[in-house]
Structure 1
Amino acid sequence: MTLLSPEQVAAQKANVDAFFGVAGKIFEGFEKLAALNLQAVRATLAETQENMAKVSGTTEPPQWFALQAGFTAPFAEKSLSYSKQVFEIASSTQAEVTQLAQAHYERYNDRVQAFVEETAKHAPTGSEAAVAAWKSAIAATTTLYETLQKTGQQAVQFAESNLDVVTASASKAVQGNSEKAPVAAGAKR
């Protein structure tokens, strides 16, 4: 004798599958972020070693200032690139999780609608108003979910376009400063 009906077992299996699907996508996002961080640390260590070798070979203050100015621009550009890659990882992970959640929601919504339809067939006369209220509540919930999903997508797109604008303007500012810095550092005071 089983305690659960086949429909309940199927629903539980779908919920478990959805949970592990979402957990897997989130874990993949963390893996990508960890790989990016390891790559950034490795590159930073190598660059720092190279820069320390250059600095230790300088004997004149103007050379030292010119080297320091030359270190700033690449660091700023790499920081901007890193930030953009982190955002892309987070954005793609969020999109994949949203896609899985959307599929799960659609399955769940279909089951609820089928349940309401089946209940309506067997409902006693005079309960049409209650069935209509259920259907109206389901339709309102579906509309709310779709609106929230569209708003979330628009927010992500807005953030992405703002990040692109900030990255582009910061990159231009860094390039402008790096072109001016060696001239100023090399000038005698």
Structure 2
Amino acid sequence: MARIRTTVDGLVYEDDVEPRMLLVQYLRERLGKTGTVIGCDTSNCGACTVHLDGMSVKSCSVLAVQANGAEVLTIEGLERDGQLHPMQQAFHDNHALQCGYCTPGMIMQSIDLLGDNPDPSETEIREGIEGNLCRCTGYQNIVRAVQDAASKMKPGASATQQSSAQPVAGGGA
């Protein structure tokens, strides 16, 4: 067993884990963060995407011991004071989901994309989310949702548009 200490969604956890335990397993099985979905177990689908120290990672390809000392942000950690993150709200408003299986990972990847490029073109959005697969939507509404969130998260957007925006650097804490 290996001892880890990690911050997940703003709370510090200390645990003994098997050295081969995946981060996605730790989040779901130990911490109950079931919004982080296990999709393919091969890092192809992106459903398990979380932020590790402010960058999106596929948690099925990261060992829990690699998160020792790190900050992890999951889909559950985005909501603040009863307000959805602007990306979550944009996915809702733009009907950017059908079955919802890919949605947590797609949202986490899209937030990371906007952290790198706050005003992406449609092509840049499609390229930025290409590691996350959706079998239902055809991506049109997902692209619209990312564009909508980008407009609301831009510096200079109205205070009501930015009210639930949270920093994503350093795991969003």
Q: TM-score range by the shorter chain?
A: under 0.3
TM-score after normalising by structure 2: 0.19
TM-score after normalising by structure 1: 0.18
